[in-house]
Amino acid sequence: MNPTDQRMDRLLHALSTEPVPEGLEQRISARVAQRTAELDESRPSKLGAILQANPLGPYAIAPAALTVMAAVCLLVFAHSGVRQTTRLNLPTTLPGRATAPPAELVPASSVSHSTLAMSVSRASSLLDSPSSQQDPDAIALNETLAPSHPAPALPLTAQEALLLRSTRRGQPMEVAELDTLLEAALMNRVTEQRRASLRETIQGLLGPLATAQALTSDSTQPDDSKTTADADSPTR
């Protein structure tokens, strides 16, 4: 036999008689058991099992799903219609609108059912049109579709304002308002401090003036003595 053929046959025989690694079957069994456990965990729920057991299968599920979806759509549509009616029948009870002229208010009875059926796109186009400022329907629809804002915050009560001021730092006066005796003492102290500072300020301002006056008086006094001396001298 050709040596090349011998090598080929030897190689093919070696490939066909390659010894199997030890423990191969155990490792395969372990891997298969692991995969089986994973498949059991991902097994469909009872509903899935019922659906799988159903002989009609997905063909019976599709009409049921469509029916449910149609019912949900009908409910949503009916609910939105009720909400629109409620909005349009609401009286304008806002305090700012209470003094508005009645011509700007559109009573609920004057709104036709066609307005109720108006789609949002048509409403937006109506609101965007330049003539919407004059059209009473547009004004009413604008008021209806306007977003509701929360009420403005009420002013703080005296206690809240006091508590708020007491939480500020570096202001002993406001903290002292919690204690009337301490407040009076601190008020007196602050008043005294203000007076002292005012006095110092005035003295600082008037100090140079007093010095100038003193100097002026000092410079004029020798002249007076001299004159008096001069006046006395002839008499001598």
Partner 1 sequence: MAVPSMQEVRSETDLAALVETYSTLLFRVAHSILRNRGEAEDVVQDAFVRVIENRRKLPEIRDLRVWLVRIAWNLALDRTRRIRPDQLDAGFAESLAACTVAADQALDEARHIQAVLREMDRLPKPERAVLLLSAMNEISTAQIADVLGKTESAVRALLFRARARLRQRLEKGSRA
What residues make contact with partner 1 under the rule CB under 8 A? 2, 4-5, 7-8, 10-18, 20-21, 24-25, 27-29, 31-32, 35-36, 39
Closest contact distance (angstroms) between CB of 149 and partner 1 is 60
Closest contact distance (angstroms) between CB of 8 and partner 1 is 6
Q: Which amino acid is at 210?
A: A
Closest contact distance (angstroms) between CB of 11 and partner 1 is 5
Q: Cβ closer to partner 1: 13 or 83?
A: 13
Q: Cβ closer to partner 1: 3 or 234?
A: 3
> Contact at 8 Å (CB) between 136 and 106?
yes
Nearest to 136, CA basis, from 167, 171, 100, 163: 100
Beta strands in 33-83, from DSSP E residues, in sequence order: none
Q: Which amino acid is at 67?
A: T
CA dist 209 and 8 (Å) reads 128
Degrees (nearest 5) of the Cα angle 31, 37, 43? 135
Nearest to 125, CA basis, from 113, 107, 137, 112: 137
Closest contact distance (angstroms) between CB of 19 and partner 1 is 9
Closest contact distance (angstroms) between CB of 81 and partner 1 is 51
Token couple for 38: 């994973």
> Contact at 8 Å (CB) between 224 and 211?
no
Q: Cβ closer to partner 1: 16 or 119?
A: 16
Give the chain's count of helices (H) and strands (E): 10, 0
Q: Cβ closer to partner 1: 35 or 122?
A: 35
Q: Cβ closer to partner 1: 1 or 209?
A: 1
C-alpha distance from residue 132 to each of 76, 123, 135, 180 (Å): 29, 10, 5, 61
Q: Cβ closer to partner 1: 15 or 47?
A: 15
